[in-house]
Copies of this chain bind each other. A is one copy, B any other.
Amino acid sequence: METFVVVGGDAAGMSAASKAKRDDPDLEVVVFEKGEWVSYGACGLPYYVKGEIQSLEDLVSVTPEQFREERDIDLRTGHEVVAIDPETRTVTAESADGEVVQGYDHLLIATGAAAVLPPIEGMEREGVFTLGSMSDGKELRDYVTRARDTGDLHQPDEGPACQFLETCEGPVGVVGGGYIGVEMAEALAANDFEVHLFQRGDRLLKPFGEAASEAVIEHLRDQDVAVYLGGGVERFDGEGRVEAVATADERVPVDMVLVGTGVRPRTDLAEAAGVDLGPTGAVATDAYRETNLPEVYAAGDCAESEHVVTGEPTYVPLALTANRHGRAVGRTVAGTPTEGGGVAGTAAIKAFDVEAGRTGLLEDRAREAGFDPLSGTIQAKSRAGYYPEGGTVTVTLTADRASGRVLGGSLLSEYGEGAVHRSHALVGAVTEGITLGALSNYDLAYAPPFNTTWDPVLTAAKVLEGRR
């Protein structure tokens, strides 16, 4: 009987374990997870903090008991793998009960990612949060609940009054203008906190392009969120507990700070075992997610992937890739070599009443990749002009000027007007190397409640093709 050992019990790890066991029930499948939670939807944490999801348990798609009893997986929570020995094909794990050494025939490293801790003075202060784990989410939710229900902020008595709202909690700071920063600004503002968002660069949600950045900044300010652009945070001031966020220009009093400045792959364990990292700093693999060590795989947020446009390694730590690559490794280990497919850099976000989706390479990234990019942005109605309600869809497309190949795009609309689902059309175009001309001839669905005769995606392709 062969043994498949998985290090890390979230999306990639549990997808691999489940698929391997289902495809080959004779396989012994052992999963080591250092925490107590497995298979949780970290993407849901901002909604939990916001209060839209009542319980952390709701984020768990399959419980440890289900993995053990229904799926016959030897899941060992509270076990941290501290060493991999590729010579003897063993891993060493530590738990409260001591150390265990476990042999493997196939090994998956799915150690995930950790929140980046930026070099800000005072990061260690009480009241400075990150949002990388379920326990982080719990702490933040507890803070929000307590502050709202009891008014028990940790402000000095002379703390500032709310700047914008007649009644509000806080003030609180959010550092970082990516997914986590924007989603948490929404979550906190929805709980009536006075929110101050600090972004080092000039744009929020940079991968979504300029139009999305401008719309989200406008929406944040409409919701009375103070947005500070271009000012890097230097210090979290305070006596023990954070009391203010300081940039070169300003000092903004806060009672709490959420730092969401990205994630980095957890690669220490892999590196120590002799696993090669790639140019992105994440674990390098082939198309089957196998590392340089035979029968040692890596998938999920600790590993890099190949980009469908450039073919080059890229680091896009998102849930679907983790699930898909984990599942592919599970199939491979169970006897059916399976490529998990590349990534297109696709992403989606809801921010207040706005939704945005993006895929592929936009202008800057396309130029970096050696293309001569041609980009254009159009605005179109989300439903037939005469149809009641509806809004505006903004589509930005980037193509290779010479060939007309679609390289990437982003879409933006009011929430519910379909920017994100419409982006599905672009993912195929980007993945298959379709030209603007071919895309503009696609027979996409049309009816007055859903779009204009030419869906905004088609209009964008048609207009940009006309500019070549």
Binding site for B on A (CB under 8 A): 11, 41, 43-44, 47, 52-53, 58-59, 61, 308, 318-321, 323-324, 339-350, 355, 357-359, 384-388, 415-416, 418, 420-425, 427-429, 431-432, 434, 438, 441-450, 453-455, 457-458
Contacts and interface: CB of A to CB of B under 8 A. Distances in A.
Given A41-B384, A424-B425, A445 B346 contact: yes
Given A386-B41, A415-B449, A449-B350, A427 B444 contact: yes
A451 to B, nearest CB: 8
Nearest to A305: B443
Contacts of A431: 442-443
B427 A44 contact: no
Given A44-B384, A453-B323, A424 B444 contact: yes
A384 B11 CA distance: 14
Contacts of A53: 386-388
A424 B422 CA distance: 7
Given A47-B386, A320-B454, A434-B428, A342 B447 contact: no
Nearest to A318: B446
Copies of this chain, how many? 2
Contact of A41 (B44, B357, B358, B448): B448
A348 to B, nearest CB: 4
Contact of A442 (B341, B357, B445): B341
A340 to B, nearest CB: 7
A356 to B, nearest CB: 9
A43 B448 contact: yes
A340 B454 CA distance: 13
Nearest to A358: B445
A52 B388 contact: yes
A423 B431 CA distance: 17
A47 B349 contact: no
A450 B355 contact: yes
A416 to B, nearest CB: 6
Given A53-B386, A323-B453, A432-B434, A348 B425 contact: no
B445 A347 contact: yes
